[in-house]
Amino acid sequence: MALSQVYLEWEKQTKREGLQQERRATIKNLIQLRFGEIDSDLQSIIPQWMNLNSTEYTRLLLQLAQLSKAELIQYFQD
């Protein structure tokens, strides 16, 4: 029984890590498509963006095309 619980916890953690990797890749790809190079300023907001709840994460992805680099960085400074 304990082995089953350990497996379930491992599976849950693995799925969580996969989701985080997917979010990071999505954010980085969209930033690169929008602004070209990912400089240190843009790199520094990626962890904050990844930690947004699903609604805010998605809303910001959809708004990215209209935001300037300065506006995007400012979003995370407020």
- pLDDT at residue 67, rounded to an integer: 95
User: What is the per-residue pLDDT across 55-73, written as a single tens digit (0 to 9) for each?
Assistant: 999 999 999 999 999 999 9
pLDDT band at 3 (very low <50, low <70, confident <90, very high): confident
Query: Count of alpha carbons within 13 Å of 37, Cβ hemisphere only?
Result: 3
pLDDT for 21 beyond 70: yes
pTM of the model: 0.82
- pLDDT at residue 51, rounded to an integer: 93
Q: Which domain holds residue 27?
A: 2-77
Count of domains in the chain?
1
